[in-house]
Amino acid sequence: MTRQLLSLAWSTPTNWARAVSSDEHELLCDHAHCELRAAASAQGLVTHNPEASELVDCLLRLAQEELRHFRQVVDLLRELGGELHRMQGNPYADGLLKSSLPSRGSVLLDRLLISGLIEERSHERFSLLAEHAVAPQLRALFAELMPSEAGHARLFERLALELLPRAKVERRAAELVSIEAQVMSGLAFSVRMHSGTVGLE
């Protein structure tokens, strides 16, 4: 079995899950946007790498899956009496991009590894929510979505290893794992899937 390159170096405490799920409409709205962004980002990778046929096939499938997740999240949001609205920026994704730029070598490698890390962080958050979210409907939704996020992180890892030299992938993965931990551990708490815990009681 190959070693997992994208393992998180900072773990979210469980009290985050109860706090973030106390506003279920806002959390689901934010999460719906995350699913949509994941689909758009996979399509962007296909647009920029059309000659990489394995990447094209895998990421088109992934984009379709993320859109199905989007549908599921929006359905539950509406069932619970909420509605979608616009969200302002994304401090986590923006922070990751900004902190990783100075040391970036390959654009493709960073896009694959950062996408994989975001999936890995989402998987961690889903597992916390599946157990500790306040509403049972949220616990059920995240328990259902959880396995596919773990699969997505592994998929990005595998694509990186297929398209780029292993030593380069391993080195950059280690750097990005530590950048991600620094960014995440420094973020303030808010009702968002990728919020931090600074300021959380």
Q: Which residues bind Fe ion (CB under 5 A)?
A: 35, 38, 66, 69, 119, 149, 152
Nearer to Fe ion, 149 or 180 (CB): 149
3-state SS class at 2: coil
Q: Among 63, 82, 95, which residue's Cα sits nearest to residue 138?
A: 82
Q: Of 42 and 81, which CB lies nearer to Fe ion in the complex structure?
A: 42
CB of 114 to Fe ion, least distance (A): 13
Q: Least separation, in Å, of the C-beta of 66 and Fe ion?
A: 5
Q: How far is the CB of 110 from Fe ion (least distance, A)?
A: 18
Which lies closer to Fe ion via its Cβ, residue 139 or residue 168?
A: 139
Token digits for 25? Answer: 């409409």
Between 154 and 168, whose beta carbon lies closer to Fe ion?
154
Q: How far is the CB of 65 from Fe ion (least distance, A)?
A: 7
End-to-end CA distance of the chain: 40
Nearest one of 18, 31, 27 to 134, comparing CA atoms? 18
Minimal distance, residue 183 CB to Fe ion, in Å:
19
Those residues with Cβ within 8 angstroms of residue 134's Cβ, 6 or more apart along the chain or in another chain: 18, 21, 22, 24
- Is residue 183 packed enough to be buried (19+ CB in 10 Å), middle (13-18) or exposed (0-12)? buried
Residue 158 or residue 168: which is nearer to Fe ion going by CB?
Answer: 158
SS3 130: helix
Torsion of CA 26, 32, 38, 39, to 10 degrees: -160
